């Protein structure tokens, strides 16, 4: 085996979670997702090391000395972080010219030619699902025998055949051993999850076809491929022993509730373990299933409402009615299941009126917390293609972020400017959180829970700092080849 480094490259201060995050952006409050996509091949390559630079506050200077200690480096990149990730690759290669270096992630999977030609430092791109592609490289197999690999011969890009999609997900080793070996789990924060939390995938792919959503259209596909309930429950049993400090487990599958009987079976197993858990869900889970999940430790759902306007939901192929999510939300409230609701401003069909409608809808269904993102056009998605064809894409939107890592409004409509779309995010947050009902809820939460008091106070201060920075400098000018992150609400 080649001595292998898996690197989530350094980036902006406060960069959320790296390429493996659904929300690759400088967020409202400091938060980090686990680098699970990199941990998975790391679990397949004995003796490897996973370094998550943003979560560890590591700069380029901090990671450069690592270059000399390894024979193979695998960097996870994304559309917003790509320009800076190339710079990191250049510097690593300069520090160790013998280092074999490759990129993985959705951005390079859909544009392998452009990515490989971005720098002589990049030796290969492992396309789509890259777990076993990387293991074969680490085993030292010749490049021309490895499915799913793109690389260069004399400066010319060569693409090997696609790798067969993984069907038996139980063949993937657990990532929690890599977490224990290489990560500090207290580094990982998410505003709406207890801390410390621990997150894993129990399956890949999503049955839905939302036009903006990156993962299912580029890597995971539209079939929900899952690990067996027994496999998941055993992993959680071990996790509970290995990380007694964890307060909450999160299943970051695109849509954990895509297979309801399986979700119920896993829940019953988790109930016996007595753990608190949360997951991504679509807003259509029936009441009976909700009750089973709640009775077995479910605390919170992350739900992608996206919009309160039915026509927009149709435009983005959400496969969901506003009415259904309204009922689902009421059911969750009744059962005491919290919701973190995600919304997107600026989707096709957006007008001033639909923005107003969505803000009112959010206040009405009243998730415990919300995340409001700007519609982002990732290469490889239907929305990106549509925006190019319709002329909605701002030419200067580039890597979708400003020079300070804050998301920019990439779309501009004849009837709704990108400035108005950008401004709507702050208005949305203010109107959702500064309501007497929400203020009372949050205050009550802090009174009941002293730990939450300190946390919410800190997050509140961060939130205002973020809005100030966004207003003053962050929002409107895409950075020169912008160094990093952006977000696209990509849940459910
Ligand atoms: S937004 Fe959610 S439901 Fe829609 S495709 Fe993406 S993961 Fe699936």
- Reported as a pLDDT band with limits 50, 70 and 90, residue 419 is very high
Residue 19 CB less than 6 A away from ligand 1: no
| pLDDT value for 102 | 98
| pLDDT value for 468 | 76
Residue 53 CB less than 6 A away from ligand 1: no
Residue 337 CB less than 6 A away from ligand 1: no
Residue 285 CB less than 6 A away from ligand 1: no
| pLDDT value for 28 | 64
- Reported as a pLDDT band with limits 50, 70 and 90, residue 407 is confident
pLDDT one-digit tens code per residue, 89-137: 999 999 999 999 999 999 999 999 999 999 999 999 999 899 999 999 9
Tokens of 294: 């709640």
CA of 309 to the centre of ligand 1 (A): 17
Residue 214 CB less than 6 A away from ligand 1: no
| pLDDT value for 15 | 58
Q: Which residue has the higher pLDDT, 327 or 31?
A: 327
- What number is the average pLDDT over the span 408-432? 93
| pLDDT value for 402 | 66
What is the value of pTM for the model shown? 0.92
**Dist CA 36 CA 176 (whole Å):** 9
The preferred substitution site among 216, 316, 317, 488 for testing ligand 1, maximizing ligand atoms within 8 Å of CB, is 216
Tell how strand 197-200 and strand 156-159 pair up. unpaired
Tell how strand 225-226 and strand 203-204 pair up. antiparallel
Residue 55 CB less than 6 A away from ligand 1: no
**Dist CA 73 CA 61 (whole Å):** 16
- What number is the average pLDDT over the span 313-338? 98
| pLDDT value for 477 | 43
CA of 73 to the centre of ligand 1 (A): 31
CA of 455 to the centre of ligand 1 (A): 30
Residue 302 CB less than 6 A away from ligand 1: no
pLDDT one-digit tens code per residue, 426-459: 999 999 999 999 999 999 988 888 777 777 877 7
Residue 131 CB less than 6 A away from ligand 1: no
Residue 282 CB less than 6 A away from ligand 1: yes
**Dist CA 423 CA 58 (whole Å):** 32
Q: Please state whether the peptide bond connecting residue 390 to the residue before it is cis, i.e. omega within 30 degrees of 0.
A: no
| pLDDT value for 334 | 98
- What number is the average pLDDT over the span 279-308? 98
pLDDT one-digit tens code per residue, 47-86: 999 999 999 999 999 999 999 999 999 999 988 889 999 9
User: Which residue lies with its CA nearest to atom 2 of ligand 1?
Assistant: 492
CA of 451 to the centre of ligand 1 (A): 33
pLDDT one-digit tens code per residue, 172-218: 999 999 999 999 999 998 889 999 999 999 999 999 999 999 889 98
Tokens of 364: 């009405």
Residue 206 CB less than 6 A away from ligand 1: yes
| pLDDT value for 32 | 87
Three-state secondary structure readout of 323-365: HHHHHHHHHHHHHCCEEEEEEEECCCCCCHHHHHHHHHHHHHH
- What number is the average pLDDT over the span 43-48? 98
Residue 304 CB less than 6 A away from ligand 1: yes
Q: Are 378 and 106 in contact (CB under 8 A)?
A: yes
User: Is the pLDDT reported for residue 486 higher than 60?
Assistant: no
User: Is the pLDDT reported for residue 171 higher than 70?
Assistant: yes
User: Is the pLDDT reported for residue 276 higher than 90?
Assistant: yes
**Dist CA 288 CA 5 (whole Å):** 46
Domain boundaries, the chain: 4-159, 190-473
CA of 457 to the centre of ligand 1 (A): 32
CA of 470 to the centre of ligand 1 (A): 27
Task: Return the DSSP state at 183.
Answer: -
Q: Are 200 and 169 in contact (CB under 8 A)?
A: no
Query: For a pLDDT cut of 90, what percent of the chain falls above it?
Result: 77
| pLDDT value for 272 | 98
Tokens of 48: 């490897």
Topology of domain 4-159, per CATH? Rossmann fold (3.40.50)
- What number is the average pLDDT over the span 280-287? 98
| pLDDT value for 489 | 40
Closest atom of ligand 1 to 492 CA is 2
Count of C-beta atoms within a 10 Å radius of residue 175? 25
| pLDDT value for 233 | 98
Architecture of domain 190-473: Alpha-Beta Horseshoe (3.80)
Q: What angle do CA 181, 185, 191 make, to 5 degrees?
A: 155
Residue 490 CB less than 6 A away from ligand 1: yes
pLDDT one-digit tens code per residue, 308-319: 999 999 999 999
**Dist CA 102 CA 469 (whole Å):** 34
Q: Which residue has the higher pLDDT, 380 or 14?
A: 380
């Amino acid at each position: 085996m080649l001595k292998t480094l898996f690197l989530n490259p350094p980036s902006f201060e406060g960069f959320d979670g790296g390429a493996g995050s659904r929300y690759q952006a400088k967020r409202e409050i400091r938060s980090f997702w686990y680098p699970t996509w990199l941990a998975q091949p790391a679990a397949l390559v004995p003796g490897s090391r996973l370094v998550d630079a943003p979560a560890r506050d590591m700069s380029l200077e901090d990671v450069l000395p690592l270059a000399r200690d390894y024979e193979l480096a695998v960097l996870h990149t994304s559309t917003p972080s790509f320009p800076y990730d190339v710079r990191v690759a250049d510097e690593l290669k300069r520090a160790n010219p013998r280092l074999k270096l490759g990129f993985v992630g959705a951005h390079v999977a859909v544009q392998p030619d452009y990515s490989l030609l971005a720098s002589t430092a990049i030796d290969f791109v492992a396309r789509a699902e890259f777990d076993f592609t990387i293991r074969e490289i680490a085993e030292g197999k010749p490049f021309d025998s490895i499915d799913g690999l793109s690389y260069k011969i004399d400066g010319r890009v060569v693409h090997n055949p696609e790798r067969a999609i993984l069907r038996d997900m139980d063949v993937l080793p657990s990532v929690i051993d890599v977490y224990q070996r290489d990560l500090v789990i207290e580094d990982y924060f998410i505003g709406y999850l207890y801390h410390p939390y621990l997150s894993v995938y129990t399956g890949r792919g999503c049955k839905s076809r939302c036009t903006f959503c990156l993962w299912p259209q580029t890597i995971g596909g539209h079939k929900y491929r899952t690990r067996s309930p027994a496999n998941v429950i055993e992993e959680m049993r071990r996790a509970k022993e290995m990380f007694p400090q964890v307060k909450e487990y999160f299943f970051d599958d695109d849509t954990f509730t895509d297979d309801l009987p399986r979700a119920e079976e896993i829940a019953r197993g988790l109930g016996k373990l007595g753990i608190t858990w949360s997951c991504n869900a679509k807003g259509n889970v029936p009441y009976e299933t909700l009750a089973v999940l709640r009775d077995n430790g479910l605390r919170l759902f992350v739900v992608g409402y996206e919009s309160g306007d039915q026509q927009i939901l149709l435009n983005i192929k959400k496969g969901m009615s506003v009415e259904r999510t309204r009922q689902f939300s009421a059911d969750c409230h009744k059962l005491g299941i919290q919701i973190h609701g995600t919304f997107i401003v600026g989707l096709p069909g957006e007008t001033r009126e639909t923005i107003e409608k969505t803000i009112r809808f959010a206040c009405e269904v009243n998730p415990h917390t919300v995340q409001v993102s700007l519609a982002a056009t990732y290469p490889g998605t239907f929305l990106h293609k549509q925006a190019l064809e319709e002329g909605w894409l701002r030419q200067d939107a580039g890597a979708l972020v400003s020079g300070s890592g804050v998301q920019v409004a990439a779309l501009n409509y004849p009837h709704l400017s990108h400035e108005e779309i950008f401004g709507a995010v702050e208005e949305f947050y203010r109107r959702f959180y500064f309501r007497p009902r929400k203020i009372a809820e949050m205050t009550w939460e802090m009174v009941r829970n002293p730990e939450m008091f300190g946390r919410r106070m800190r997050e509140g201060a961060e939130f205002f700092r973020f809005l100030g920075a966004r207003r003053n400098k962050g929002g409107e000018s895409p950075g020169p080849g912008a160094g990093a992150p952006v977000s696209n609400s990509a849940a459910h």
